[in-house]
Structure 1
Amino acid sequence: MHLKDNRNVKKIERKKFKNKEKKLQRIHYSLLIMAMISFVVNYMFLRNSTIGHDIRYVIYIFCVPVIIGVLFFGIYRREFLIKTYLSFNKTFEKLYVIGFFLLQGVLISYLSFGQIAWITWSYLNKKESEKNKIEIINCNITGFYLKKNPDISFKFNNRTEVLSVTTEMNRENYNRNRKDYKVEITVQKGIWNYYVVKKWELKKKNL
């Protein structure tokens, strides 16, 4: 009788856990959709065009927020993760589960913690750039990308940068030789080694 009672208790606990997970998954799914929509809107309409590079951006605006996010969600979902992990017996299945949830954690962390860090940095970078003088820089064109999502590439501080172009300009670029052109960019220096692009223009070199 005692064994039967234990089985019934475990069965009830499993049912409660499953019901709880179903409710949480619906909430999590809604939050994920909202985060994805927010990311697309911010990227398409609110993103500041910048050129430049600094390893501190990679460390503090990408790596650190993502790592914090993975740890946060790992602790928050530890019960579910442990139960799922223990439900598999084979080593390759356990490794697959670890890899799958780690990849999922990185993605969700980037869309949440990473996005907050990115938006905050973009705002502060723009505010800082507004305090600095306007500069005009000229860079040689290194290439015209003419296919989907066309752009022009150029060298700035020994790194390749790209600027998106309109469909009309892209049609014109088909008949242009990159060696005959340069890009004139109006910028203001922001945080670290990043510059906010105010405007830019493709100009023919004086040969």
Structure 2
Amino acid sequence: MALSRNLKLVLLSLLIVIGFSSYFLYSNNNYKMLSKREINDFIEDKRKSNLSILKEESVKSRFNPHALILYKNDTKLGTYILTKSRKGIQEYKGVEVPIDKTLPIQVTGALSGVPYLGIYITNNKLIQEGKYVEMEFEDGTKVRKQISLDQKGYILSENTTPEVPRDSVQVSVIKGGQVLYTNEY
């Protein structure tokens, strides 16, 4: 009887060790937040290749933390998405759009997965008079950032993948209750 009890304890201990090992092995495969230094190193490297970094933002999603970097060069506006896992830091290039200086606002980003927009405001009147830049989806979900006089680039992002896929988004610049600019993308 003592031998079978000891055997049961050994098997139970073995199962517990295997369970904890599996958990930590699985959790090491998940994405992790990038440090400020890792993001800054990436930005410095990109600046050497003649990119202007307009904005960077860490998205603290529980299952998919990542960093978004909004950039422009002489002809294009685009984003980079950075993720970190046990494999290291991965860089993904998001959507690039040609810069059109006649548009008051330029938008790049993605509506699939975790929706995000990179917004570049070229109209100085919108920067000076606007209080917020906002994205709004068909279901009424809104993400809003305050406009700063010394900033032209903004990143608006949800933190999770929505239950219903996004088909379009409305971008607005708002002052109080007044809409100064709006367009659907």
TM-score norm. by structure 1 comes to 0.27
Higher helix share: 1
TM-score norm. by structure 2 comes to 0.29
- The structure number with the bigger radius of gyration is 1
Larger RCO: 1 or 2 (CA < 8 Å, sep 6+): 1
